[in-house]
C-alpha cells in the first residue's frame, strides 16, 4: 500500500552491537524465548514437588506445540512501526516481553477448551481431557473428569501468572515497562471479560448479533491484534495518534479474524483446522454467523429453520448429517455470504486506519500482509 501524501516515515536508528533479531525469524525467536523461560520455571515447579513439575511440563508442551505466534508478531510490528529496529540494544528485551503474550494465549485456550468441553486442540487432546486420561491410567480415586477440569483450571492460571512474570523478566527500561502496563493490564481484563460474556450468552441463549460482536470484540480482537499492537507501540514510546490508529486497525482486523474463525468452525476442513467438523455448533457458540441465520429465518417466516438451528446449537450429539443440514440452511439463508461481506468491510476499514498512520514502510507492508493472512486463513 502506498503512503498518502504528507504522511511521514519514522527514521530507524541502530545503536551499539546488540544481537540482531531478523524480522523473518521472529517466530523462531519467540519459540526460543518460550523454551528458555519455561525451562527455567521447571526448576521452580520441581522444587514444590515432582508431580507439579510434570504438570509444568504439560503446560510447556502445550505452549510450544505449535501455533502461529500471531500475537507476538503483531506486537513486534507495532514496535517496528513506531521506530523500533531489530538491531537496537533493546530488541532482545522486546522479544522476551512480547513472547509473554503466548502464555496469555495458553491461559485463554486451556480455559476455553474446558468451558466448551472441547476434546481436541491442534489435533491433540485438550489439557482437561489429557489429565482425565492420566487419572484413568493411574487408577486414582474420584472422578477423572473433575480431576481433568481442576488440572486445566490450575494450569491455565499458572500460564497467566507466568505471563506476568515473563513480561517483568524482560530487561526493559523502567520507562518502557511503565508504558507497557497500560495495554497489558487492559488486555488481561478484556480477554477475561470476553470469556465471561461467551459463557453467559451461551447460558442465556442470547442469539443477537450484538451479543456475538461483543464476544468477538473482547474475547478475540482485543488480545489478538489490538492490544498486542498497542503493547508494541508502548514499548517504542509511540505518540497517542499512532496508538489510536493501531487500535482502530487492530479492533477491526481482530473481529474479522474471529468471523473467519466462526466460518471455519462450521465449514472448515477438520484435517486443516485440527478440530472436528461442526464443533462450534456442538459447543453452543453463539456466533454472528448463527445470529444472522436465525434473524433471517425469523424474518422470512421459516420457523422450521429457526427450530432446527436452535436445536443444533449446543447439541453434543449432533452428527455429521445434522451438521450438513445446518450448513445447508446457513448457506440458503445467505448468512455465510453476509459474514464474508462483513470480513471484507472490516478489513477495508482497518486498512484505511493504517493508511494514514505515520509508521515505517516495512511495518506498513507487514501489517497489510498480516491482515490478509488473518482474514483469509483456512485454519
* Predicted local distance difference test score (pLDDT) of residue 16: 43
* Predicted local distance difference test score (pLDDT) of residue 133: 98
pLDDT tens profile 295-333: 999 999 999 999 999 999 999 999 999 999 999 999 999
Angle at 323 between CA 123 and CA 207, to 5 degrees: 100
CA 201/CA 288 separation, integer angstroms: 12
Report how far apart, in Å, the C-alpha atoms of 366 and of each of 73, 74, 81, 220 are.
Answer: 10, 9, 9, 21
Residues 171 and 33 sit within 8 Å (Cβ to Cβ) = no
* H helices present in 1-138, as ranges: 26-48, 50-63, 70-81, 91-99, 101-116, 127-138
CATH number of 23-376: 1.10.600.10
* Predicted local distance difference test score (pLDDT) of residue 22: 81
What values do phi and psi take at 16, rounded to 5? 70, -165
Which residue is associated with the grid cell 515432582? 50
b or e along 202-226 (b: 16 or more beta carbons within 10 Å of the residue's beta carbon)?
beeebbebebbbbbbbbbbbbbbbb
* Predicted local distance difference test score (pLDDT) of residue 19: 60
- Residue 268 DSSP class: S
Report how far apart, in Å, the C-alpha atoms of 373 and of each of 15, 37, 75, 254 are.
Answer: 32, 29, 16, 12
The three-state secondary structure class of 129 is helix
Domain boundaries defined on the chain: 23-376
For residue 262, what is its C-alpha cell? 466462526
Residue ranges, the chain, pLDDT below 70: 1-19
Strand partners, 121: 124
Strand partners, 124: 121
Which residue is associated with the grid cell 507439579? 52
Amino acid at each position: 500500500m502506498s503512503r498518502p501524501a504528507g504522511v511521514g516515515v519514522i527514521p530507524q536508528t541502530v545503536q551499539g552491537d546488540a544481537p540482531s533479531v531478523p524480522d523473518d525469524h521472529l517466530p523462531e525467536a519467540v519459540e526460543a524465548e518460550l523454551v528458555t523461560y519455561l525451562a527455567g520455571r521447571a526448576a521452580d515447579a520441581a522444587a514444590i514437588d515432582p508431580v507439579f513439575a510434570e504438570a509444568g511440563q504439560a503446560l510447556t508442551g502445550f505452549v510450544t506445540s505449535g501455533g502461529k505466534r500471531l500475537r507476538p508478531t503483531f506486537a513486534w510490528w507495532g514496535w517496528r512501526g513506531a521506530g523500533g529496529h531489530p538491531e537496537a540494544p533493546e530488541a532482545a528485551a522486546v522479544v522476551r516481553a512480547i513472547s509473554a503474550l503466548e502464555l496469555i494465549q495458553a491461559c485463554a485456550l486451556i480455559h476455553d477448551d474446558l468451558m466448551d468441553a472441547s476434546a481436541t486442540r491442534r489435533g491433540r487432546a485438550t489439557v482437561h481431557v489429557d489429565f482425565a486420561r492420566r487419572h484413568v491410567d493411574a487408577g486414582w480415586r474420584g472422578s477423572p473428569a473433575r480431576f481433568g477440569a481442576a488440572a486445566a483450571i490450575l494450569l491455565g492460571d499458572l500460564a497467566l501468572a507466568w505471563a506476568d512474570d515473563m513480561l517483568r523478566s524482560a530487561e526493559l527500561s523502567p520507562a518502557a515497562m511503565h508504558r507497557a502496563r497500560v495495554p497489558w493490564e487492559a488486555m488481561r481484563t478484556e480477554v477475561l471479560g470476553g470469556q465471561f460474556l461467551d459463557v453467559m450468552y451461551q447460558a442465556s441463549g442470547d442469539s443477537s448479533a450484538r451479543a456475538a460482536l461483543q464476544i468477538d470484540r473482547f474475547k478475540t480482537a482485543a488480545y489478538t491484534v489490538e492490544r498486542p499492537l498497542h503493547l508494541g507501540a508502548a514499548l517504542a514510546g509511540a505518540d497517542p495518534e499512532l496508538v489510536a490508529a493501531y487500535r482502530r486497525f487492530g479492533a477491526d482486523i481482530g473481529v474479522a479474524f474471529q468471523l473467519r474463525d466462526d466460518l471455519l468452525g462450521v465449514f472448515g476442513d477438520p484435517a486443516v483446522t485440527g478440530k472436528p467438523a461442526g464443533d462450534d455448533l456442538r459447543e453452543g457458540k453463539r456466533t454472528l454467523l448463527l445470529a444472522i441465520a436465525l434473524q433471517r429465518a425469523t424474518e422470512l417466516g421459516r420457523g422450521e429453520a429457526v427450530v432446527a438451528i436452535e436445536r443444533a446449537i449446543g447439541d453434543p450429539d449432533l452428527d455429521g448429517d445434522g451438521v450438513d443440514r445446518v450448513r445447508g440452511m446457513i448457506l440458503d439463508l445467505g448468512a455465510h455470504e453476509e459474514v464474508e461481506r462483513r470480513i471484507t468491510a472490516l478489513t477495508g476499514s482497518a486498512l484505511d486506519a493504517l493508511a494514514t498512520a505515520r509508521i515505517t514502510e516495512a511495518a506498513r507492508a507487514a501489517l497489510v500482509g498480516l491482515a490478509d493472512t488473518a482474514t483469509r486463513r483456512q485454519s
